[in-house]
Amino acid sequence: MIAQLDAIHQDAQAAIEDACDEAALEEFRIRFLGKKGALTQAASGMRDVSKEDKPAVGQKLNEVRQALTRFVEARSAQLLALKDAEAAKGIDVTLPGRRPQQAAFHPLTQVMHRGISALRQMGFTLAAGPEVETEFHCFDALNTPEDHPARNEKDTFYFADGHLLRTHTSSVQVRTMETTKPPVRIIAPGSAYRRDEIDSTHLSVFSQMEGLYVAEDVSLGDLKGTLERLFRAIFGPKTPVRFRPHFFPFTEPSFEIDIKLQPKGQDPRWIEIAGCGMVDPNVFRQICESRGDDVYDPDKVTGFAFGLGLERLAMIMWGIPDIRLLIENDQRFLRQFASA
């Protein structure tokens, strides 16, 4: 019996060398380890082994079974490795890869996000208001007299019931102050509407970002500091920023802000980028009236507000020559901003 097992072991050792593919290896397995295989048949001779020899023969049987199983495993691993190597043959890692589809944030989303991030770092929080507004929130509360040029059907979209499409995001200032006590520090990005024919520099629907900070003793110095930081966060830490006195109904004093940039292939120049100013006391008075209290009494609080056009910002930032590119959503245009 022992000799028979040794013989099987030796046969197997020789046979495994010939098992050079998976079918041959399977044949080998059946021949030696299968139900009718040599080892199984030899094992059936166990019952004829004398009781005292049984432990030794049993041990031998196990050894041989283990050895044969190892042959199969080792050979199998070898064969798989060969197959792996075969599969890798002809792969040229220097060839171009297969890229995932990469889309892009719209340039306006990007500009807005940069502005929002910078202002949130300074402690501003987001606020929103409706785009279909009342005349009160869009004009009256913002110290814009009834016969102001903006307040007519030539410049503003009205609805039959007297509501209108907000002409600026400044209406969110009013909404916020109506519902929140000072101090307030908010930014309100969103759409605004004006009856402008669409051309290379105008859209009838455009995006703005509004900011408002009201507390005790907010000064012109605070306005300067905040807005300088904002524009340097967007355009780079060394960007020169300047303020020019201007006129808006809802702020006094009012300023326009220019930044100095070097458009591609041109000399550096000052570019007008935003309007701002100290909140006009009349605005606060309207808010007090609307709230029915005096927490926004202009003798107690001061504040600043600013507004910027995001299309213009994006156009300046990337040298976009025509505002209409921003609403056409041509993939070839959008994808240029994928890594911007």
Q: Taking CB under 8 A as the rule, does residue 90 contact other proteins?
A: no
Selected binder of other proteins within 44, 50, 94, 102 (CB under 8 A): 102
CA distance 64 to 70: 10
Cβ-based neighbour number of residue 212 at 10 Å: 23
- For residue 126 the two structure tokens come to 């987001």
Residues between 106 and 135 that touch other proteins (CB under 8 A): 106, 108-109, 113, 116, 120-128, 130-132
Selected binder of other proteins within 245, 265, 266, 292 (CB under 8 A): 245
Q: Taking CB under 8 A as the rule, does residue 161 contact other proteins?
A: yes
CA distance 179 to 71: 82
Selected binder of other proteins within 205, 233, 271, 288 (CB under 8 A): 205
- For residue 267 the two structure tokens come to 């000399």
CA distance 258 to 276: 11
Q: How far is the CB of 264 from other proteins (least distance, A)?
A: 24
Q: How far is the CB of 135 from other proteins (least distance, A)?
A: 13
Binding mask 42-81 for other proteins (x = CB under 8 A): ----------------------------------------
Place of tokens 């101090």: 183
Q: How far is the CB of 121 from other proteins (least distance, A)?
A: 7
User: DSSP string covering 110-125, please?
Assistant: HHHHHHHHHHHHTT-E
Of 2, 21, 1, nearest in space to 75 by CA: 21
Q: Taking CB under 8 A as the rule, does residue 285 contact other proteins?
A: no
Which residues, 6+ apart, have CB-to-CB distance to 134 below 8 Å?
Answer: 162, 163, 164
Selected binder of other proteins within 15, 26, 239, 246 (CB under 8 A): 246
For the chain, the distance separating the N- and C-terminal CA atoms, rounded to the nearest angstrom, is 80
Residues between 311 and 330 that touch other proteins (CB under 8 A): 326-330
Cβ-based neighbour number of residue 114 at 10 Å: 16
Q: How far is the CB of 64 from other proteins (least distance, A)?
A: 50
Closest to other proteins by CB, 8 or 110: 110
Selected binder of other proteins within 90, 96, 237, 292 (CB under 8 A): 96
**How many amino acids of this chain bind other proteins (CB under 8 A)?**
82
Q: Taking CB under 8 A as the rule, does residue 240 contact other proteins?
A: no
Q: Taking CB under 8 A as the rule, does residue 197 contact other proteins?
A: yes
Residues between 4 and 33 that touch other proteins (CB under 8 A): none
The β-bridge partners of 211 are 187, 306
Q: Taking CB under 8 A as the rule, does residue 139 contact other proteins?
A: no
**DSSP-based helix, strand, coil % in the chain, nearest 5:** 45, 20, 35
- Within 13 Å and on the Cβ side, how many CA atoms surround 170? 27
Place of tokens 């094992």: 43
Of 28, 123, 19, nearest in space to 78 by CA: 19
Q: How far is the CB of 191 from other proteins (least distance, A)?
A: 6
Q: Which stretch binds other proteins (CB under 8 A): 25-33, 37-45, 67-75, 153-161?
A: 153-161
Q: Are 115 and 230 in contact (CB under 8 A)?
A: yes
Q: Taking CB under 8 A as the rule, does residue 179 contact other proteins?
A: no
Selected binder of other proteins within 13, 40, 66, 204 (CB under 8 A): 204
